[in-house]
């Protein structure tokens, strides 16, 4: 698809990469009446079709209204209204945890949480409640520090070191690390990898606490968020290119002058370029003689460690047992590492275009070290996580319409389709991530090349994407005032 394209081949801004941050920054710039070209760069994997049903590859789960103010405000500016969260009076808990011998209905209501812990895990009740209270006390400070991060984002790598010193309060050292806490906290901490793009072991205790609180709050499901933002971008006059791919960034010394696209080696001029790729992918597009040491070092400091592997089941809403939440974490053995099929997330969302039907997404994290095993590893893993779904939902096999995985059914012989290790990666780094921030600054060694990739706010998931978009536009405006 090439939407809004005219014979003009020059733009004020070229945005490369169409993850959430790319869509947000492209919409923000377009709302300022700029000439913006958004190049998706990778194959379109927002959804796939199986037996006539268009299934979202990775649906967005947004925190309740007011919990991610930056993202909510951006969506409001774009004229996009997110779906409502489950009403507070609903009997459905925000999160359920299923272990071999217990089921816990978890929420942030202190009375309900305390009663549930006293019933199911009395030996952990005191320590878990104290940790949750501690996270809630620090949440106000966290929000303040996050707002400061937006208004004082570092301009260069040297500024990033100053930033880390400014936003590292001494009292954070006394905040308990959930990864070393009681089993229930360790489960909640490990599950933050489903929300974040940074592995839990790479996050500070306060960021883990922030994400744990998000899991225990009502949330909103939005299966078509990416598609909605693409539509808004085109409606506002933006140019969307899903057919070509940037082969090379054209530069004059330290300044971007355009991009060369495949197929056809078509040249597109631009005044500035915003990369929403990883730093390593961005570096691969820069001419070798312009790959400066600072950006090379930063690119090597960030690598994928895990990824999300998903299986989707289409079934009638009536097949879901009464009392089962839309978010469920299943743990088979508390003493084993919380990855692969020992930590399975099950989510229930409406089936697009099929009233009365639901899509049950059953997924787990797979380590990058297993990538060489390919289908010999993923095939048995799919069987095991489907078996876990059948155990949780009795008679699922008798009721389901079909089941599929975006990594098999959507390929249809197309070898360019992204592998399971590329659709939703979880990253690791040898840098210090402060509040989910601090891997790579938004500005680069190049005058008009901005980095809005996953290294910007990797620990904050959708919230981080919104902060990266807002910061990037502010950096652009700051540069423009200096020129």
Domain boundaries, the chain: 2-47+224-301+437-482, 53-63+86-152+163-219+303-421
Structure tokens at 286: 């820069």
Which CATH number is correct for 53-63+86-152+163-219+303-421, 3.90.660, 3.40.630, 3.90.320, 3.40.30? 3.90.660
d(CA 93, CA 104): 9
Q: How confident is the model at residue 5 (pLDDT cuts 50, 70, 90)?
A: very low
The model carries a pTM of 0.88
Query: Averaging pLDDT over each range in 102-111, 291-300, 416-425, which range is the top one?
Result: 102-111
Kind and range of the H or E run holding 103: strand 103-106
Note the pLDDT tens digit of each residue in 442-466: 777 888 999 888 888 777 888 888 8
Residue 189: predicted pLDDT: 94
Residue 372, Cβ density class (10 Å: 0-12 exposed, 13-18 middle, ≥19 buried):
exposed
More confident residue, 305 or 444: 305
pLDDT at 90: 54
Distance, in Å, from the CA atom of 328 to the CA atom of 459, rounded to the nearest integer, reads 22
pLDDT at position 373, please? 81
Band of pLDDT at residue 435, cut at 50, 70 and 90: low
Q: Of 6-20, 68-82, 366-380, where does mean pLDDT reach its minimum? A: 6-20
Same fold: 2-47+224-301+437-482 with 53-63+86-152+163-219+303-421: no
Residue 232 has pLDDT above 90, yes or no: yes
Residues 364-375: what's their mean pLDDT? 83
- Taking only the tens place, the pLDDT of each residue in 38-62 is 998 876 667 777 888 888 877 777 8
pLDDT tens-digit readout, 382-393: 899 999 999 999
Distance CA 428, CA 305 (A): 6
Residue 4: pLDDT over 50: no
Question: Comparing 170 with 40, which gets the higher pLDDT?
Answer: 40
Whether 2 shows a pLDDT value over 80: the answer reads no
- Compute the average pLDDT of residues 409-429: 60
Which of 160-169, 272-281, 422-431 is predicted most confidently?
Answer: 272-281
284: helix, coil or strand?
helix
Distance CA 98, CA 391 (A): 11
Instruction: Please give the mean pLDDT across all residues of the chain.
Output: 81
The predicted-structure confidence for 321-348, as pLDDT tens digits, reads as follows 988 998 999 998 888 888 889 999 999 9
Tell me the backbone φ, ψ of residue 62, rounded to 5 degrees: -95, 140
- Confidence band (pLDDT; 50, 70, 90) for 408? low
Is the model more confident about 13 or about 168?
13
Question: What pLDDT score was predicted for residue 163?
Answer: 46
Q: What's residue 415's pLDDT?
A: 44
Q: What token pair was written down for 189?
A: 């901490």
pLDDT for residue 412: 40
Q: What is the pLDDT of residues 201-231, one digit of tens each?
A: 888 888 888 899 999 988 887 878 888 899 9
> Where is pLDDT greater, at 31 or 425?
31
193 or 169: which carries more pLDDT confidence? Answer: 193
Q: What percent of the chain has pLDDT over 90?
A: 29
Name the maximum alpha-carbon separation found in the chain. 69
How far apart CA 163 and CA 438 sit, in angstroms, is 8
Q: What is the mean pLDDT of residues 173-194?
A: 87
What average pLDDT does the segment 67-78 reach?
84
258: left (phi over 0), alpha (psi -120 to 50) or beta: left
Class of domain 2-47+224-301+437-482: alpha beta
- For residue 167, pLDDT over 90 is answered with no
The answer to whether 235 touches 243, Cβ cutoff 8 Å, is: no
């Amino acid at each position: 698809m090439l939407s809004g394209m005219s014979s003009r081949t020059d733009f004020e801004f070229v945005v490369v990469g169409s993850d959430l941050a790319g869509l947000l920054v492209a919409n923000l710039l377009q709302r300022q009446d700029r000439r913006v070209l958004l190049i998706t760069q990778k194959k379109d994997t927002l959804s796939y079709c199986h037996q006539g049903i268009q299934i979202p590859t990775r649906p967005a789960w947004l925190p309740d209204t007011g919990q991610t103010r930056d993202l909510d405000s951006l969506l409001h500016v774009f004229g996009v209204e997110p779906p409502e969260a489950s009403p507070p009076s609903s009997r459905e808990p925000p999160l359920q945890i299923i272990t071999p011998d217990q089921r816990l209905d978890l929420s942030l209501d202190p009375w309900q949480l305390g009663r549930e812990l006293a019933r199911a895990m009395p030996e952990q009740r005191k320590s878990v409640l104290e940790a949750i209270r501690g996270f809630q006390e620090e949440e106000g400070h966290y929000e303040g520090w996050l707002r400061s991060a937006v208004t004082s984002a570092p301009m260069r790598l040297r500024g990033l070191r100053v930033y880390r010193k400014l936003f590292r309060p001494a009292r954070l050292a006394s905040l308990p690390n959930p990864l070393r806490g009681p089993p229930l906290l360790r489960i909640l901490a490990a599950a933050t990898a489903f929300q974040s793009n940074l592995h839990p072991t790479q996050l500070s205790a306060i960021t883990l606490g922030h994400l744990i609180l998000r899991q225990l709050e009502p949330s909103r499901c939005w299966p078509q968020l990416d598609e909605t933002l693409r539509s808004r971008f085109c409606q506002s006059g933006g140019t969307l290119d899903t057919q070509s791919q940037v082969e090379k960034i054209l530069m004059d010394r330290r300044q971007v002058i355009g991009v060369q696209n495949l197929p056809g080696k078509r040249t597109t001029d631009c005044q500035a370029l915003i990369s929403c790729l990883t730093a390593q992918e961005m570096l691969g597009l820069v001419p070798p003689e312009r790959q400066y040491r600072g950006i090379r070092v930063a690119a090597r400091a960030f690598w994928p460690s895990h990824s999300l592997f998903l299986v989707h089941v289409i079934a009638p809403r009536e097949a879901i047992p009464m009392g089962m939440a839309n978010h469920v974490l299943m743990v088979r053995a508390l003493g084993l590492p919380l990855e692969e099929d020992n930590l399975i997330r099950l989510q229930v969302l409406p089936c697009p275009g099929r009233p009365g039907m639901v899509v049950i997404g059953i997924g787990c994290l797979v380590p990058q070290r297993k990538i060489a095993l390919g289908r010999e590893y993923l095939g048995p893993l799919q069987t095991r996580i489907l078996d876990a779904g059948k155990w949780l939902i009795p008679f699922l096999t008798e009721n389901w319409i079909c089941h599929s995985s975006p990594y098999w059914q959507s390929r249809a012989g197309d070898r360019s389709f992204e592998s399971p290790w590329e659709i939703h990666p979880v990253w690791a780094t040898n840098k210090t991530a402060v509040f989910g921030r601090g891997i790579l600054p938004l500005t680069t060694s190049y005058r008009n090349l901005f980095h809005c990739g996953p290294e910007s706010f990797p620990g904050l998931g959708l919230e981080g994407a919104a902060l990266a978009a807002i910061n990037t536009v502010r950096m652009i405006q700051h540069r423009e005032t200096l020129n």
